[in-house]
A = this chain, B = another copy of it.
Amino acid sequence: MGIVVQKYGGSSVADAAGVKRVAQRIIATKKAGHDVVVVVSAMGDTTDELIDLANEVTPLPPARELDMLLTAGERISMAVLAMAIQSLGFDARSFTGSQAGVITDAEHGRAKIIDVTPGRIQAAIGEGAIAIVAGFQGVSQTTKDITTLGRGGSDTTAVALAVALQADVCEIYSDVDGIFTADPRIEPRARKVPRISYEETLEMAAQGAKILHLRCVEYARRYDMPIHVRSSFSDKEGTWVVKAEDVNKDGNMEAAIITGVAHDRSQAKITVVGVPDKVGEAAAIFRAVAEAQTNIDMIVQNVSAAATGRTDISFTLPRAEGQAAMAALSKLQGEVGYERLQYDDSVGKVSVVGAGMSTAPGITATFFAALADAGVNIEMISTSEIRVSVVVAESQVEAAVNAAHAAYNLGSDEIEAVVYGGTGR
């Protein structure tokens, strides 16, 4: 049997009882004959508490020292987890990111993995031990300083280690049973998806589904490492994230055209009203917004009204970046000569995602018809090869999700009792 890499999030190891439960699970995998390498996040709220401590000392903690501070969190959880496994009679050894050979660039707080040299991990599992590795952290190749990988870092650590160790699978554990056709908190008939492609997972994640972080899925796709998303609270099979041609390899089921419905309530919409319809105006607007460090998602430009020679440009962006973008645009009024700005943070985005979409006609029509029947007004539209997204009023997000879910027959007959949450970092 081969190597299994398992990643446990902070909610799975929130306290001593959780650590012991996870230890049992790890041992069960070891007993099944696998070599086991475990990546663990900081316990519960440890990271937030460490950030609070830093902020008690200074409002702007320097990035190098913040990384040094935060990596204490995984150091604690990995050591305690190794202790719990040893107390059950199995050999276990913890390793920092640096000791595990997670080599990064020097971008503190958002370092990128540039190499993984897991010699000590291979030696440990070669001697029959279970290796416990700190997620979220590495060491800079150039400065030799400790770095952190930013959001989704522990998932990425797990996938990168799985690739470097040529593992059979990377299992990502959280408090959710897998990836669902929609968020079960607002769609009671949401169904767990048994298999999904990397590409669909990326679209779902990018469109607001809090499943896996984009980085780790991109890493897994690049090296074709299967990810098994599952719950640390049950023994049920979760969702396998695999390459597109393997999604239906069981052969006993028709490929679903639509895999799921994602939604995102974290966005805001800015409309620049009355922009003179001249070459270069849109470029000036988006250059200003980019300089304010905002990440634009959807953009819509109306056809120019012949009578006025003016048009409206709308775009969506994360709410947290809304004020900075508005400030940047305000400064531009004299130069561009637009009439006014509108800011709306009562919007939501609903997306249908499915790899079968590109070859199935009528998908978009079905979606829009379902929304119309539910009385949902579409404010903006954007599409990709395997996705259609709409911006609607935030108050209509739930109705839109329910309508789309029903329109594509995504629901199961029985309602599964699950809590749908994030996977931590």
Measured CB to CB, the residues of A under 8 A from B are: 16, 19-20, 50, 53-54, 56-62, 64-66, 68-69, 71-73, 75-76, 78-80, 82-84, 86-87, 92-94, 99, 120, 144
B residues within 8 A CB of A53? 16, 76, 80
Neighbour of A75 across the interface among B16, B71, B78, CB < 8 A: B71
- Known contacts A53-B76, A75-B71, A99-B144; decide if A87 and B58 are in contact (CB<8 Å): yes
20 A-B pairs besides A53-B80, A57-B84 with CB distance below 8 A are A16-B53, A16-B56, A50-B76, A57-B80, A57-B83, A58-B86, A62-B83, A64-B93, A65-B80, A65-B83, A65-B94, A66-B79, A68-B79, A68-B82, A69-B75, A69-B76, A69-B83, A72-B72, A72-B75, A75-B75
Q: How far is the CB of A77 from chain B (nearest CB, A)?
A: 9
B residues within 8 A CB of A59? 87
| In the complex, residue of chain B having the shortest beta-carbon distance to the beta carbon of A16 | B56
| In the complex, residue of chain B having the shortest beta-carbon distance to the beta carbon of A69 | B79
- CA–CA, A288 and B84, complex, Å: 35
- CA–CA, A50 and B62, complex, Å: 26
Give the copy number: 2
Q: How far is the CB of A286 from chain B (nearest CB, A)?
A: 36
Chain B CB count within 10 A is highest, among A58, A60, A64, A93, for A58
A62 lies within 8 A of B86 (CB): yes
Chain B CB count within 10 A is highest, among A20, A57, A59, for A57
Q: Which 7 A-B pairs have the closest CB atoms?
A: A58-B87, A69-B79, A16-B56, A68-B79, A72-B72, A72-B75, A65-B82
B99 lies within 8 A of A83 (CB): no
- Known contacts A57-B16, A57-B20, A75-B75; decide if A69 and B62 are in contact (CB<8 Å): no
A83 lies within 8 A of B61 (CB): yes
B residues within 8 A CB of A79? 54, 65-66, 68-69, 72
